[in-house]
Structure 1
């Protein structure tokens, strides 16, 4: 028996207190500056308990509390970094992550605290994990990073720290796009990545849901051919996983497509492909972008998705996810995924 486990058996309240303070510190890091009341809502703890924890963290110089709210200090950040592996082990995230990764044959699963369905802060923690992973892969050589749209991917750029090697990345839109919800489209997100990392980027304007004839014409245009050449040389992909039924509505797809998605029981969407529960492609939109065959050659792939409601979609996509995939998700999704996996 390890020394720490023995201590927790003798003083079990110590473990609960550590988990509580650790969770609060993690969310201060992601959401700060943040007020006590808002923080209590984020972590789902009584305001009195959060107030006591904030006072302790402030007195130990792990956070600073100002008029705008609580923010993490350098000491607090260093402490979180040193505790992360241990806390993931004892909270059980490491075991869950390993089981999911092994079940689907992917490289790794990383699980952050909370449920994105109920906490915007949890979604930020997913973005933070992806940003740190991206910075660790930066080298002195130029690498191409393909980015998709979506709310989870959109959280990543704010956590780029200005690592000098990030400027060597060329960020490109993983697929063409235009129309509504511009801030969540790949073109907009790519520019944000580049601005924060002082790097280069390439956008790609190309309509969704083209007719077959129009697609044949446009994919032979110079810009489309140039983008396809970049996709074949992509080093890193960062993408989201969508719920199929929501994506067809967001794209204003035709009634015929919506009915097809419903009849064929599509569960997830990624890169313009719609997959059923087994990971079989049941529909794809006509557009120029990263294709499934491209993914086989990409060395590093990060799939970002969280929330209990998205668990089914994530599992659907994992059936076809390339082995070099790293899934970054949250406890809400992971717990539901574990339940579903156990019945297979």
Structure 2
């Protein structure tokens, strides 16, 4: 962890302070998203004894941040306000602000937001990533634009955390691509509809599978209604998308064992929109589909917001974002630190 001189002094006075701060912040954050909760379920979630948890609960209650009632533990209004506003201060104290600055330089992204915590050990972190992305989205919205969203759990979290409030007039929300045939809640069509409902604006859907043969693609492109929707998608000014690991996405797309082996031999580590990337950001495989294409990201889309987290996705994030810079990257602390580990100390070359 890289510290400022003031932070180093605080560590000398109270070296246990960061651990206490993070522990209580995580506790408040979990209650914020899942209240009402009982002590037993909280102890199980954080894998600590009930006696230890009881002490933390008592401290937070005495500070007026939580309420302990028969129905369970909830946040007070002061607690809710603290959870939603503490992040910038917490990030600075934990060195995450400096981490964001390092990632901006390494990945050449305009802006990086690192959410405290590790997605792979705390499911609430995904919701925090979604909330961070919604703040960026709201700042990018303009009247009359087209907003495209992809499928996946990260984009679903953005839809979940987006506050219900009117957007500027004339905005249309569309799916960035066809569907993968996955869980309905994570399909691009479903997410686009939910985002539009939260923004109280219009949406159009693309009811087609994401993976099609070249012949089928050409045939569909001759259909007037489909072409109209595709033209709308390709006019998007804002795009929100996630990043998948190559192996996971190939498996979800129903790749045969020999195809999986070929991807491994080609060094594929990440996937976006059916394009599989190696560690150098080179496309080693492409599955034809309908929707936004890579050239659209640089040529027409004004703001690209990437939401991806988890240490296991670090290589995929570097391969995609590090070699094809986006405007905004939202990720968790676990992925951010793992990305730094992948880069050599002598230069800006990732070690994989």
Query: How far apart, CA to CA, are the structure 1 residues paired with 2:268 and 2:11?
Result: 46
Contact 1:135-1:166 at 8 Å conserved across structures: no
Contact 1:101-1:107 at 8 Å conserved across structures: yes
- TM-score scaled by length of structure 1: 0.89
The partner residue of 1:336 within 329, 332, 338 is 338
Q: Secondary structure at the match of 1:156?
A: helix
| Number of equivalent positions | 342
The partner residue of 1:137 within 113, 135, 140 is 140
Change (3 A) 1:205 1:301: same
Contact 1:274-1:281 at 8 Å conserved across structures: yes
Q: Secondary structure at the match of 1:165?
A: coil
Question: 1:161: which partner in 2?
Answer: 163
Deviation, 1:319, is: 2.7
The partner residue of 1:149 within 138, 148, 151 is 151
Question: 1:204: which partner in 2?
Answer: 206
**Gaps spanning 5+ residues in structure 2: where?**
none
Question: 1:83: which partner in 2?
Answer: 86
Change (3 A) 1:40 1:328: farther
Question: 1:299: which partner in 2?
Answer: 302
Deviation, 1:340, is: 0.6
Is 1:50 the counterpart of 2:53? The answer is yes
Q: Secondary structure at the match of 1:342?
A: coil
Deviation, 1:109, is: 1.6
The partner residue of 2:192 within 178, 190, 197 is 190
Deviation, 1:46, is: 5.1
Change (3 A) 1:166 1:83: same
* Cα offsets for 1:245-274 (capped at 9, x unmatched): 111111113445333322212110111211
Change (3 A) 1:258 1:331: same
Contact 1:30-1:125 at 8 Å conserved across structures: no
- Please show how residues 318-329 of structure 1 align to structure 2 within 5 Å: 318-324=321-327, 326-329=328-331
Change (3 A) 1:214 1:167: same
Query: How far apart, CA to CA, are the structure 2 residues paired with 1:101 and 1:35?
Result: 41
**Gaps spanning 5+ residues in structure 1: where?**
none
The partner residue of 1:311 within 308, 311, 314 is 314
Change (3 A) 1:50 1:212: same
Question: 2:30: which partner in 1?
Answer: 27
- Please show how residues 118-137 of structure 1 align to structure 2 within 5 Å: 118-137=121-140
Query: How far apart, CA to CA, are the structure 2 residues paired with 1:330 and 1:36?
Result: 27
Query: How far apart, CA to CA, are the structure 2 residues paired with 1:315 and 1:4?
Result: 29
Q: Secondary structure at the match of 2:330?
A: strand
Query: How far apart, CA to CA, are the structure 1 residues paired with 2:70 and 2:139?
Result: 34
- TM-score scaled by length of structure 2: 0.87
Alpha-carbon RMSD across the aligned residues, in angstroms, is: 2.6
Query: How far apart, CA to CA, are the structure 1 residues paired with 2:26 and 2:220?
Result: 50
The partner residue of 1:248 within 242, 247, 250 is 250
Contact 1:40-1:46 at 8 Å conserved across structures: yes
Change (3 A) 1:2 1:253: closer
Contact 2:117-2:332 at 8 Å conserved across structures: yes
Deviation, 1:211, is: 1.9
